[in-house]
Amino acid sequence: MTSIRQEIHKYRKKYQTSKKKEASTLEKLGRTEREIDLIHTLLQRLSVEETRQRNQIFKQNRELLKLTADYQTLKRDYTRRVVRYYKEGPLLDLEVLLSAKSINQALVWLKYRKRIMDADKRRIETLKIQKLKIAGQTNRLRKSWERQKLLIAEKKRERRNLSIQRRRRKKLLAKIRNNKKIYAQKIKEYKEAEAAIKRLIRLNERTRTATANRRTE
């Protein structure tokens, strides 16, 4: 009986330890699940933002290419006009004066030509400023996009590690629960054995008492 009671005590202790381990593992597993859910939600938001930034970069690159092409074309045409003007300017001015109906008409034409050249020059400067502005914006956006991609990669690694951790804890939880089940079964078996021995002792006592009574009669 003493041996059986010791076994019952031993397995009860193991059972209680398993219960504590089960509760602790469940808590850790729940925390891991919540972390995975939070990272999953964050990754969705980061992916949306990363896509938005990537599309914005493509859009600005197209705009920058167009501005660069316009800038190069206008600058080339303006340079040609300036070179032509300095090479042939006096002769052209003389031709204008000779072909004009009046001095006023000639002056208007010369002012118009100068106004066109000044406007082209301003347009070139404007395009240059716009080009530099968009290039700066695109560069900053690209850096932000690169940081976003690094953050996404980092969070994916975290999620992967947490998923591995979750699998391990689920496996551990299954093992703990199986052990707890075994300990409960052992306790049941030893208690049944204890009860059977007690019944046998009581039966022996009754038999011995009955035998003693018959002898005294």
Q: So what's the pLDDT on residue 199?
A: 86
3-state class of 102 per DSSP?
Answer: coil
pLDDT per residue over 111-159, tens digit each? 666 777 788 888 889 888 988 999 999 999 999 999 999 999 999 999 9
Tell me what percent of the residues of the chain surpass a pLDDT of 90.
52
- Give the residue-averaged pLDDT of 92-102: 52
Higher pLDDT, 216 or 38: 38
Q: Which pLDDT band, with edges at 50, 70 and 90, does 106 fall under?
A: low
3-state class of 35 per DSSP?
Answer: helix
Tell me what percent of the residues of the chain surpass a pLDDT of 70.
81
Q: So what's the pLDDT on residue 209?
A: 72
pLDDT per residue over 149-203, tens digit each? 999 999 999 999 999 999 999 999 999 999 999 999 999 998 888 888 888 888 8
Residue type, 211: T
Task: Compute CA distances 157 → 152, 164, 167, whole Å.
Answer: 9, 11, 15
DSSP H helical segments within the chain, as ranges? 2-99, 103-216
Q: What predicted TM-score, i.e. pTM, was given to this entire model? A: 0.68
Higher pLDDT, 91 or 175: 175
Q: Which pLDDT band, with edges at 50, 70 and 90, does 91 fall under?
A: very low
- How remote is the C-alpha of 137 from its chain's centroid? 24
Closest C-alpha among 160, 157, 82 to residue 121 = 82
- Give the residue-averaged pLDDT of 58-65: 92
Main-chain phi, psi angles of 82, to 5 degrees = -65, -45
**How would DSSP label each residue in 82-94?**
HHHHHHHHHHHHH
Domain ranges of the chain: 2-211
Pairwise CA distance, residues 217 & 214, whole Å: 5
Pairwise CA distance, residues 203 & 209, whole Å: 10
Lowest-confidence region among 24-33, 81-90, 171-180: 81-90
Pairwise CA distance, residues 41 & 22, whole Å: 28
Q: So what's the pLDDT on residue 214?
A: 64
Pairwise CA distance, residues 50 & 116, whole Å: 45
Pairwise CA distance, residues 126 & 177, whole Å: 74
Pairwise CA distance, residues 129 & 135, whole Å: 10
Q: So what's the pLDDT on residue 76?
A: 87
3-state class of 100 per DSSP?
Answer: coil
